[in-house]
Structure 1
Amino acid sequence: MITELKEGYVKTEREHGISTIEFFHPQSNSLPGMMLEKLAQTIHSESHDPATKVIVLRSAGDKTFCAGASFDELAAITNEKEGLAFFTGFAKVINAMRRAPQFVIARVHGKCIGGGVGLAAAADYAIAVEGADVKLSELAVGIGPFVVGPAVERKIGLSAFTQLTIDASMWRSADWARRKGLYAELHPEKEGMEDSINRLSNNLAQSNPDAMKELKKIFWKGTENWDELLVERAAISGRLILSNHSRNFIQKFKEKV
């Protein structure tokens, strides 16, 4: 099943209990509001299908896994209500991944920026390839990683999260991300990454779904308030994106591209 959007798509393929959800956007797999909404809906739908035993989240293309928020949509936000609605899109995706009773495997084939780091962190098991460097660029934009922050901090710890957040212009290597726990595995070539994803997803598809469901409850214990927390965080970003600092940064960024 494939859903074409104005720009980009979200599509799903299911085989032998493995639901593969792929997203694509021509601007480095950035995520506008419609794609965030569709991605959250798709994860929710697949996770509630009894035929789904494991979910693989991936993006298309050869370079960036996910560049985070769409700068075109950030530039179009004119009030706090619109800002809240946009950033709540990231909250919906993260919460859909969190609430899915199945394990979510992230295939990270390239760089992760901002919200892209949040997607990798919200996965239960991320498998990456060399070059999948990470950066939380939100502070440079004039906001902060408020919505994805809980997921990133949960995965890599407060110290590493603050490092990423404070030095918002610095890339951290894929090996750094593996050592901090964001990536469960890091492979030198894409072939090794693909082989590992296939092996793990097939093994999980043959595992007891009730056991995996109970394990996931344990893994995510303490996040029961995220339905409210992430929306509260989205409101903060929705307000800050209206600041002169953010407006000027976005304008300069768009002039470069």
Structure 2
Amino acid sequence: KLGLGWPKGVFEYADEFGIDQVINALNQLHSRFNYDLFKPDPLLTQMVQEGKLGQKSGKGFYEYGAAGAVEFKEIILRKEPPLAWIILNRPQRLNSLTATMMEELSRALDMLWDDRDVRVVIIRGAGDRAFSAGADVTSFSGPLHTYYFFINNRKFQEAVSKIERFPKPVIAAIDGYALGGGLEMALACDFRIATDKSELGQPEIGLGILPGAGGTQRLIKLVGMAKAKELIMLGDRIKAEEAYRIGLVNKVVPKEKFEDEVRSFALRLAQGPPIALTYAKYAINFGTQMPVDLGLMLEAAFFSMAVNTKDAQEGVMAFLTRRRAEFKGE
């Protein structure tokens, strides 16, 4: 994949734009400038003739499943504009996390990063037993030099941190276990909704290790230092209701209403102004990592940028005319 330092590779952009549209654009450029450089490559023409138009046809440079589902090895990406679902797809292993899964998660987020059809992303586990039971412990087997373990762990951390940096709201939909690295992934999300049968925890201490994907940093911000130390140093699992009581999850819902409740919450978010939501997320996530005065300056900068958007004008007009605002992300 030729990324060229862009959020996506050129082939992914072509699939998203449409191979037929790429050919049309090249033909227009060739007609205007008469440069052979703009002649469509025969491969593109052949792909269109074979019906390989990209995401809209299910196949282009990459293969895509039905109904907007992109096929990966260990995750599923399903688009339902204005929502997108990233499904951790190792139910036989309680959706335990592997290097492959984390790389695919990172790639899926890149694909959705500037997709204007998607306003909210939901991460959930396949099946009804686990969001994710944590890192696949078989990956710890065998000797590994401390340096290389450090490098591999940083890659894991970067994939999780990409959720925190993602410019749109991300919801962790937890049905079952969210343990270890699975909980750490959920901590990086903006919201956590759990079924009443779920259990959450950081049990790494029982393996003689500690959380390695942000648990020691993000858990404190949600539940406070004392409770974070208790969860990490004792390694106990807690029920969903207790997680709600201490502020670890936003909502606890009955299992039978789980998907409807998650979708309803996500659609409410999707009705909001996309640009202001991004600014608010960044001001909260990163403004709290600096002294208050600098955090307030960051907030003021984002506020001044939000005020000058068309969405802000729409919001004011909707308020004055007593109607629901229709935000377009402009």
TM (normalized to structure 2)? 0.63
Residue 230 of structure 2 corresponds to 163
Larger radius of gyration: 2
- Superposed CA RMSD in Å reads 1.9
Distance 2:252 2:176 in 1: 11
Alignment of 1:138-217 (within 5 A): 138-149=204-215, 150-168=217-235, 170-187=236-253, 189-217=254-282
Aligned length: 220
CA distances 1:91-120 after superposition (whole Å, capped 9, x unpaired):
122211111111101110011111111122
Residue 25 of structure 2 corresponds to none
Q: Is the CA contact (8 Å cut-off) linking 1:90 and 1:115 kept in structure 2?
A: no
CA distances 1:180-222 after superposition (whole Å, capped 9, x unpaired):
11110001x2232222211111122222101111110122024
3-state DSSP class of the match of 1:182?
coil
Residue 87 of structure 2 corresponds to 22
Q: Report the CA distance shift for 1:45/1:175 in structure 2 as closer, same or farther (over 3 A).
A: same
Q: Report the CA distance shift for 1:104/1:10 in structure 2 as closer, same or farther (over 3 A).
A: same
Q: Report the CA distance shift for 1:112/1:197 in structure 2 as closer, same or farther (over 3 A).
A: same
- 2:154 is aligned, of 61, 72, 88, to 88
3-state DSSP class of the match of 2:131?
coil
Residue 190 of structure 2 corresponds to 124
Residue 165 of structure 2 corresponds to 99
Distance 1:223 1:81 in 2: 31
Following TM superposition, by how much is the alpha carbon of 1:76 offset from its aligned partner in structure 2, in angstroms? 4.1
3-state DSSP class of the match of 2:238?
coil
- Report sequence identity in percent: 26
Q: Report the CA distance shift for 1:77/1:191 in structure 2 as closer, same or farther (over 3 A).
A: farther
- 1:2 is aligned, of 57, 70, 73, to 70
Following TM superposition, by how much is the alpha carbon of 1:85 offset from its aligned partner in structure 2, in angstroms? 3.6
Distance 1:13 1:4 in 2: 11
Give the gaps of 5 or more residues in structure 1: 226-257
- Whichever residue aligns with residue 20 of structure 1, its letter is W
Residue 44 of structure 1 corresponds to 110
- 1:57 is aligned, of 123, 126, 132, to 123
Q: Is the CA contact (8 Å cut-off) linking 2:172 and 2:191 kept in structure 1?
A: yes
Distance 2:163 2:270 in 1: 17
- 1:75 is aligned, of 124, 136, 141, to 141
Distance 2:208 2:271 in 1: 46
Q: Is the CA contact (8 Å cut-off) linking 1:117 and 1:152 kept in structure 2?
A: no
Following TM superposition, by how much is the alpha carbon of 1:135 offset from its aligned partner in structure 2, in angstroms? 2.0
Q: Report the CA distance shift for 1:181/1:173 in structure 2 as closer, same or farther (over 3 A).
A: same
Following TM superposition, by how much is the alpha carbon of 1:176 offset from its aligned partner in structure 2, in angstroms? 1.4
Residue 34 of structure 2 corresponds to none
Give the gaps of 5 or more residues in structure 2: 1-68, 291-330
Distance 2:251 2:113 in 1: 24
- Whichever residue aligns with residue 64 of structure 1, its letter is A
Moved more, 40-49 or 176-185: 40-49
Distance 2:109 2:257 in 1: 26
Q: Is the CA contact (8 Å cut-off) linking 2:181 and 2:212 kept in structure 1?
A: no
Distance 1:89 1:157 in 2: 27
- Structure 1 runs (4+) deviating above 6 angstroms are none
